[in-house]
Amino acid sequence: MKFIIATFVTALSAYAICLVAPWWCIAISSFVVAYFIHQKSFLAFLSAAIGVGGLWGMLAAVKNMQNNGILSTKVAGLLGAPNATVLIVITIVIGALVAGFAALTASFARPKTA
């Protein structure tokens, strides 16, 4: 149950903080959520990675559909990616890794209780 709650709270807080702050603030929100919702290290990493990766994937797919893939196809061409889908997958992986490692850091930084 904590895993599901942490996943949704991480996604919601990452979305909210990215409305007013730079993209890398997802690390701060993931860290805070993982620090206060006590989980094992791997579960903290996984919940943050799934939450932010899913959020970024959904947002990238929606933006891609809104402009019929024109922008993402051009950006993929500039970056040397074969198509827009690869660009969206790269976006998901970057968001998931940043959030996951921030949550893992919080899991290790939390004081251990006996």
Instruction: Give tens-digit pLDDT for 29-77.
Output: 999 999 999 999 999 999 999 999 999 999 999 999 999 989 888 998 8
Structural domain range at position 34: 2-109
Q: Are the C-beta atoms of 100 and 14 separated by less than 8 Å? A: no
| H or E element in which residue 14 lies | helix 2-18
User: For the residues 70-86, what does the mean pLDDT come to?
Assistant: 89
Packing angle, helices 2-18 and 84-109, rounded to 10:
110
Residue 64 lies in a domain: yes
DSSP, collapsed to helix, strand or coil, labels residue 108 as helix
pLDDT, position 114: 52
Give the angle 92-43-16 at the CA atoms, nearest 5°: 50
Residue 50 lies in a domain: yes
Taking the complete model, does pTM exceed 0.85, yes or no? yes
Residue-wise pLDDT tens digits, 9-39: 999 999 999 999 999 999 999 999 999 999 9
The total number of structural domains in the chain stands at 1
